[in-house]
């Protein structure tokens, strides 16, 4: 049943613009990163693919992914409210908890897809636009960091998605909160807070240069474990359909 519901979600996503919006957000982040490389090159700073990848991961984490994933996941639930199909789905029968879990899982899958799209675009930009020499080791590290941080950013905002979709249209508020959290991570910097702040806790796990060198991966894993526990509690204690749709 769960696999069938996930397949249905994929079919629905193909028919609306939310996927395109996510891809546009990815494209903007990559474009902005390439533009920053041009600015650095005009200032005679040393430019290479490692720096481009560093800038891209930073831009994705602070400006794009948290808000984009919350918007994406929130939209998947909110469209059921808007189309009036939520009650029909629950009559199949499909439990409200299972429906929400499917939406969250699909969002997680697409977070990896958006991360992969970002990786492909930065590789193409680095090779064909900026004419960098890119080694196999740099390619592997970029894949690990870009896709890894995409998934960890999804884990960071998953509880926000679960909370913001309890009322029709509130997912936009959730996206705003996630965007603010991304902006806050700008000021966290390379400090002890980097390892415990949800948006940046994954830095250590993907060997990103902005992570604190003395940080323990165990702490980052613990942060995401707590976030998953919060997500489980949010889904377990969902209000009734009538309260959700009020």
Q: Which pLDDT belongs to residue 82?
A: 80
CA torsion 212-217-220-224 (nearest 10°) is 160
Q: How far apart are CA 39 and CA 56, in angstroms?
A: 15
- pTM (global) more than 0.85: yes
Q: Is 135 helix (H, G, I), strand (E, B) or coil?
A: coil
Task: Kindly report, residue by residue over 30-54, the tens digit of the pLDDT.
Answer: 999 999 999 987 767 789 999 999 9
Q: Which pLDDT belongs to residue 200?
A: 95
Identify the CA nearest to 57 among candidates 109, 113, 118, 117: 118
Share of the chain above pLDDT 70, in %: 91
Q: Give the position of tokens 């397949």.
A: 7
Residue, of 195 and 214, whose pLDDT is higher: 195
Tokens of 99: 């429906």
- Judged by average pLDDT, the poorest of 45-49, 61-65, 109-113 is 45-49
Q: Are 198 and 65 in contact (CB under 8 A)?
A: no
Task: Kindly report, residue by residue over 7-17, the tens digit of the pLDDT.
Answer: 989 998 988 88
Tokens of 186: 């700008």
Identify the CA nearest to 111 among candidates 204, 25, 238: 25
Residue, of 206 and 216, whose pLDDT is higher: 206
Q: How far apart are CA 119 and CA 125, in angstroms?
A: 10
Mean per-residue pLDDT, 95-124: 95
Residue 172 pLDDT greater than 90, yes or no: yes
How many residues are recorded in the chain?
246
């Amino acid at each position: 049943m769960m696999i069938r519901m996930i397949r249905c979600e994929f079919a629905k996503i193909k028919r609306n613009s939310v996927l395109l919006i996510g891809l546009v957000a990815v494209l903007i982040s990559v474009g902005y990163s390439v533009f920053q490389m041009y600015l650095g090159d005009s200032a005679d700073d040393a430019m290479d693919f490692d720096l481009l990848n560093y800038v891209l991961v930073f831009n994705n984490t602070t400006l794009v992914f948290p808000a984009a994933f919350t918007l994406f996941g929130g939209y998947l639930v909110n469209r059921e409210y808007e189309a009036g199909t939520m009650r029909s789905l629950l009559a199949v029968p499909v439990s409200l908890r299972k429906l929400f879990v499917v939406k969250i899982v699909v969002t997680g899958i697409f977070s990896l897809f958006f991360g992969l799209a970002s990786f492909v675009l930065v590789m193409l930009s680095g090779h064909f636009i900026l004419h960098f020499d890119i080694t196999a080791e740099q390619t592997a590290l970029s894949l690990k960091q870009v896709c890894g941080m995409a998934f960890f950013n999804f884990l960071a905002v998953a509880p926000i998605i679960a909370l913001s979709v309890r009322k029709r249209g509130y997912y936009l508020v959730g996206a705003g909160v996630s965007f603010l959290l991304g902006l806050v991570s700008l000021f966290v910097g390379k400090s002890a807070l980097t390892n415990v702040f949800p948006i940046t806790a994954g830095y250590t796990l993907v060997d990103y240069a902005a992570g604190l060198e003395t940080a323990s991966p165990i702490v980052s894993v613990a942060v995401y474990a707590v976030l998953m526990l919060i997500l489980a509690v949010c889904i377990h204690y969902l209000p009734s359909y009538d309260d959700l749709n009020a």
